[in-house]
Chain A
Amino acid sequence: MDFSLNGRRVASPPAMDDDPLLYVLRDHFGLNGPKFGCGVGACGACTVHVDGAAQRACQLTPRDVKGRTVVTLEGLGSGRPDGLHPVQRAWIDASVPQCGYCQNGQIMTAAALLAADPGAGPAAAAAAMDEVVCRCGTQARIRQALSKAQAVIRDGS
């Protein structure tokens, strides 16, 4: 399947057309951002952006993204001055990660949320972030980082 992956046109092998997109991204394209957490759409660890929206790569196949634009954590900051999206910057500044394994899903979900709704209030934030599981207990820091990133994005800096 042909699609755009982190700004490049790519083709996934036909033998993988029915595989979860997550495995195609990880095993064929060698990407490390999207993670396997549950494989059934229940945790958010595999989140990628498809045409800008947060989607679960374990629930998609290459057929679903044919001709569309896929961005992973690797491509999120591209074109930014320091290579970091404001959400990534805020995640570092607030020292969010513990084990780090869920953070792909947290960051990609937060970035899609703020892109779609820069003024997202607590209810919208909860609706998006509640669906991404963190077992280590970084939720309080995620909230701090999210509002920091939101301030940066709204101020346009």
Chain B
Amino acid sequence: MTELSRRSLLKALGWATGGIIVFGGAGGARAFPTFPYRGAPTPEDAAVWLSLRPGGEIEVFSPRAEFGQGIAVALRQIVSEETGVGLEFVRCRLPGTGMIRPARATVGSDSIKDFGPLLAQAAAALAAAMRARAATLIGVPAESLTPSGDGFKAASGATVTLSRLAKGKPLIIDEQAVATAEPHSLRPGRAHTVVGQAQPTDDIDAIVTATRPIYADDIRLPDMVHGAAIRPELVGGRIEAADDTACRAVPGYLGLHRDGDFIAVLAERRGALRPALAALEVTTRGDGKVDDATIAAALDVDAALAGGALEHVLESDDMDPAADYDVDLTLDVPMAGHVPMEPRTAVARFRDDGKLEIWTGTQDAFFARAVVADELHLDEDDVVVHGLRTGGAFGGKTLCTVELEAARLARAAGRPVKVQWSRRDEFAGNFQRQPSRHRIRARLAPDGGIDAWWHAFRAGHVIFTSAALGPILQFATSFVPDMGSKRGALPPYRARRKRIEFEDVRLPVPTGPWRGLGAGPNSWAIETAIDALARQANRDPLAFRVGAIAADQPRLAAVLRQVATLSNWSDRRPDAGRGYGVACGVYKGMSYAAVVAEVAMADGDAPRVSGLWCAHDCGLVINPDQVRAQIEGNLVWGLGMALHERLEVRDGRIQADSHADYPLPRFSDVPAIDIALIGQEHVSSGAGETAIVAASAAITNAISALTGTTITRLPYRG
């Protein structure tokens, strides 16, 4: 254990004054946005995440962003469990680039899986350091001390409080101590006290009372002004000219800033932005030809199959297009928006020493720093990005957008600037969930299993999104299968022959990561076809699945059986206007979900989901309350996919301007939800995107059970 050994760490802990805190070695990532991401975290990284502060609190510098997934409280729970320090004495600060070494984007439901164990190691190292110092302080052997929640107690009855432990000297840990620590807090099968406890999200008090600033829009700086970028109305359009003569009559209008393709207005007050934008004369160019039909044509999987094998073959058995199949479906998934309730917001200010500070809600503070430094020709060390609680992200806040806009305007204005995207910006200025078209052909085996499974699909790009890559990189990546588009394409079922092939298509509308990436759409297609096969075989769809699940997927079979019990499946029979559907899936080979949906549909009415049950296995659960919340969120997202969401493009224009044009599930659309968490004997995996693999298909399958017709196009609006 070393104390006060590293100057940079001390700065991060706030003991050194002045200067922006700097750690070396981010580089390399700026050309590529979400891919390739920075490497897995190391003990060296983790040594900076934890310290005991002079006030007697353990402080966690989170390497993960918080946007509602409840990660902050989960990290605190791990530290509390590991150290024996009460949860109330462990606080968590969200990632800023000045606090920790570069951490990769918060994506892919891997925070607990990839960061949890290392955090537990760091906590074990800190616990050992605390114990050693306590032993020295009261002159007893370290082994005679037991943690008491707020310090240590000796066998003699003597106590050491946390604040006494930390007095005058922060307690920090080094890489070596982290690397050699042997934590217990995440070991499945052990009795835990804090791990496994239901806890609300951090900051719930501030959310419910608004008594503390927590989001980027809550940041107000002296002398701050407001900016808004001007975007072309049309997909692929360009702004050719902007004339702000009329804007000058708007009180509070400050001016137009132009720098290449970036054009923005600045105003003293937010209220002046909208009238200024309305007064601005903008000449744009754009062909106005892109529409849903253009996109559908680009996704025409049958046309592609007519030319032979698709570009990327994931399972390669030969299939005969002329043969008979029991199920032959063409399935369509439309584009969708992220629609986080918090529009992207950033505040930027140049300090007197020329260094730049940015406050924002992002999934990737380090990427934002790299892009801003690059674009503004600043040294990365001279830019600090403070990551704040984010009002929803869902994969959509992975690129650097509003941060760069605010930074450019702050430089131009010579004053701090806040930029907040309009709702229209959110719909039209960001990338979208990739649309896809699937052709699935399948044949039953005489024993009731699956003889042949042939799934071909075309989908928009996800990782190699044109929203992020310049033309050269788009070309360079066009030969590599997009791992986002193909996520979830391998079915978890046995089949004698399998062929799975796909093409990722560069669409005129930028597409990119959206909760679960390809897993939501691909598993909807698979689970729709499996249900159709079961209907064809006249089998119960749940029993059919259990029988067909591959031998190496016992945890999937387990969630299916569990959801059968939870939903009382065997007693559920479709009757007057009420149908039941089931679906299941595996997310990233690590987590499992099975969902049963009850749908009520009166004659001629739109379907209504009247019950949802989910059995879920993401291994050991740190915080069942937050895992349940994630499952509930995924079920609602599945409901949105199934019945509501579709982002339309017409005459070259993304049609949605506000929530009024893009219906999401509302309060009365969401039924009571019943969840069972199983599989806790396994190590923790991830819960943020798992249930989406089963939710939408369970709902559409319930409708099909009622109508007898397979639903082949999302959303189903009756």
Contacts and interface: CB of A to CB of B under 8 A. Distances in A.
A137 B716 CA distance: 19
Summarize B's interface: helix, strand, loop or mixed: loop
A104 B210 contact: yes
Contact of A15 (B269, B394, B422, B637): B269
B200 A107 contact: no
B659 A100 contact: no
| Residue picked from A35, A139, A142, most chain B C-beta under 10 Å | A139
A123 B420 CA distance: 35
Given A98-B70, A101-B341, A136-B633, A19 B658 contact: no
Contacts of B208: 73, 84, 88, 91-92, 97, 103, 107
A27 B342 contact: no
Nearest to A102: B341
Contact of A135 (B198, B214, B664): B664
B667 A136 contact: no
B209 interface: yes
B611 to A, nearest CB: 11
A37 to B, nearest CB: 5
B673 interface: yes
A43 B658 contact: yes
A65 to B, nearest CB: 15
A40 B666 CA distance: 18
A3 interface: no
B470 interface: no
Given A26-B217, A139-B636, A83 B341 contact: no
Contacts of B149: none
A137 to B, nearest CB: 3
Interface size class of B (residues with CB under 8 A): 35 or more
A74 B342 CA distance: 19
B207 A97 contact: yes
Nearest to A91: B208
Contact of A95 (B218, B341, B625): B625
Interface size class of A (residues with CB under 8 A): 35 or more
A140 B270 contact: no
Interface in A44-77: 45, 72-74, 76-77
A38 B423 contact: yes
A126 B269 contact: no
Contacts of B660: 40, 42
Nearest to B272: A19
Interface string B261-277: 00000000111101000
A74 B210 contact: yes
A141 interface: yes
B350 interface: no
B68 A100 contact: yes
Given A101-B215, A133-B666, A137-B634, A43 B342 contact: no
A36 B629 contact: no
A19 to B, nearest CB: 3
Nearest to A122: B668
Nearest to B423: A38
A99 B668 contact: no
Contacts of B423: 37-40, 42-43
Nearest to B666: A130
Contacts of B212: 32
A31 interface: yes
B231 to A, nearest CB: 16
A146 B422 CA distance: 30
Contact of B667 (A20, A74, A129): A129
B698 to A, nearest CB: 15
Nearest to A131: B666
A24 B269 CA distance: 9
B436 interface: no
Interface of A: 15-16, 18-20, 23-24, 26-27, 30-33, 35-40, 42-43, 45, 72-74, 76-77, 83-84, 88, 91-92, 95, 97-104, 107, 122, 125-126, 129-143
Interface of B: 67-70, 198, 200-201, 203-205, 207-215, 217-218, 220, 251-252, 269-272, 274, 339-343, 389-394, 420, 422-423, 625, 629, 632-637, 657-660, 664-673
7 contacts: A32-B217, A74-B209, A74-B210, A102-B391, A103-B207, A140-B671, A143-B672
Given A42-B659, A125-B667, A133-B659, 5 more contacts: A43-B423, A99-B393, A100-B68, A138-B633, A140-B672
